[in-house]
Amino acid sequence: MTETVQVEAARIPDRDRLLQELRDAGLDARPVDEVCIEVPCGDVEQACDDLLALAEDAIMSIGAPFVPMKHDGTIYIRPPTS
């Protein structure tokens, strides 16, 4: 059975842009619902760490004011708290 890592963005345009970045990185990422992305993987914890690093790089290259956070096997992409 293939495990998946969830990535949840704040808005649809953010999800779409991050989805494209993950696909460009060679991942089999697919959209789920309005703001989620699923990425199939083997070792969930290692894949989650790798995805977090990819998400950070994508956010930096986009120049978006968001912060990726990992929690319980899901990566959340949210605006920074003040």
Domains and CATH numbers, the chain: 3-78 (3.30.70)
Whole-model pTM above 0.85?
Answer: no
Q: What is the pLDDT of residue 30?
A: 94
Length of the chain: 82
The pairing of beta strand 30-32 with beta strand 36-41: antiparallel
Q: What is the pLDDT of residue 65?
A: 76
Whose tokens are 């990185």? That residue is: 25
Q: What is the pLDDT of residue 31?
A: 96
Q: What is the pLDDT of residue 44?
A: 63
Per-residue pLDDT of the chain (82 residues; tens, 9 = 90+): 458 888 888 888 888 988 998 899 888 899 999 999 998 877 767 777 777 788 788 777 777 777 888 887 788 887 777 6
Residue 12 tokens, joined: 């649809």
